Amino acid sequence: MSAYANRAYIDKNYKPSRNDVVVEYYMEPYRVQFWKAAVYVAAESSIGTWTTIKTMNPKIAKKLRPTIFYMDSKKNIIKIAYPHELFEAGNMPQIFSSIGGNVFGMKSVKNLRLEDVSYPKVIIDKFKGPRFGIEGIRKLTKVYRRPLLGTIVKPKVGLDEKQHAKIAYNAWVGGLDIVKDDENLSSMSFNKFKKRIELTLKMRDRAEKETGEKKIYMPNITAETIEMVRRAAHVKMNGGEYIMIDILTAGWAGLQTMRERNDKQFIHAHRAGHAALTRNEKHGISMAVLADAARLIGVDQLHIGTAAIGKMHGSKEEELALLKDIEYKKIFANPKLHVLEQRWYNIKPVMAVASGGLHPGMVPKLIRTMSKNIVIQMGGGVTGHPDGTLAGAKAVRQAVEAYYAKEGYDVYKKKYPELYKAIKKWGRG
């Protein structure tokens, strides 16, 4: 019998301790019994290998062997409790190399999806979490009673630095709080990073003086890690409070470096590439797992999708799970707060970002579905307005004002002309 196929890994009577890392997988076995495939996953992600080895001893096995305490072959769910000593606390790459590493390539599983991870305090305490979080964002912007409103400069790439800054300015004076770069804009031959930062932040300052409101620019600094450090420093030198990172393409190590090096800037986390991991409901890694990792490392706000309201593929249930209490986090749970808002010991709450195919007509449904502690970001839904970016920004702000004033569509044409035109073009959600 293979060394993997050891029932010692299974104990359905085991109750995870508060120091265990508890992991839930969706698993479909391939040409082996369900329990054997479960053992293969538990072993490969911890102390086991494909054959018996002379270097294994009872002390190691007793202290470090994980326990499969739940198996449901009908729903294809297994839950494994790992001793926390298997992980280097504070090292997210190592954690994912274990529970999200070789196991995905094993022949004994047809499909495997990392659904949930519950971290104990002994692990959580080694991460810094968001430096500012929701409270800090609200304090910076002085916007407390509504969602934050933002746009992404469009087209994604192709504009020069002056054109980019001008669009940002129009969005800010139109009433938006935030302007950010898109995920694939970095430092291009036609739009150099340093010049874009300097010109856009000057336009931000001008917009603040004209509107009397705080305005935020989120430049995309994603690059090789040392270069990200340089770019963040340039943003800071020019008065920028925020940086944006494509956290999955930059990697957990890059993100951790930026959190460690960054003492005064907020981190906006874009999840570009997440669907390569999250889209298959039977194989990969759930957005909830990625969100937890990003929060532990220390992002202040995070893209989570639009609950199937916008253009991007995404499970409404999975995305809304980030906005409500879910079972495996019940030791931290406050049912009145969504998961990203809950305080995990020393870890501050994260602000959720809704982005992807949104327009002003969707605002009421977004707020009802996702609460006020979100950033509503519209790219084409602003720059695609029939009268341009300025009118598009006004339409977004008007949509929020109309929602909280409980005003019906019949008053839009007279009181909110920009919103009326936006709804005429795109509809009401």
State the catalytic residues: 154, 270
Q: Give me the sign of the Cα torsion angle 48, 51, 55, 59.
A: positive
Is 292 buried (19+), middle (13-18) or exposed (0-12) by CB count in 10 A?
buried
Q: Report the alpha-carbon distance of residue 358 to residue 384 in Å, rounded.
A: 11
Helices 417-426 and 389-405 pack at an angle, to 10 degrees, of 100
Instruction: Report the DSSP beta bridge partners of residue 117.
Output: 23
What does DSSP assign to residue 5? -
Of residues 207, 24, 43, 190, the one with CA closest to residue 117: 24
Of residues 106, 40, 31, 102, the one with CA closest to residue 71: 40
**DSSP-H helix ranges across 262-370:** 275-278, 287-297, 316-321, 363-370
Distances (CA, A) of 269 to 104, 243, 250, 332, 350: 26, 9, 11, 23, 10
The full DSSP string for 201-270 is HHHHHHHHHHHSS--EEE-B--SSHHHHHHHHHHHHHTT--EEEEEHHHHHHHHHHHHHHH-SS-EEEEE
Asked if residues 320 and 371 have their Cβ atoms less than 8 Å apart, the reply is: no
CA 184 to chain centre: 17
Q: Report the alpha-carbon distance of residue 195 to residue 269 in Å, rounded.
A: 23
Distances (CA, A) of 93 to 87, 251, 275: 10, 8, 19
Q: Give me the sign of the Cα torsion angle 20, 21, 25, 30.
A: negative
Q: Report the alpha-carbon distance of residue 419 to residue 195 in Å, rounded.
A: 34
Q: Report the alpha-carbon distance of residue 139 to residue 313 in Å, rounded.
A: 33
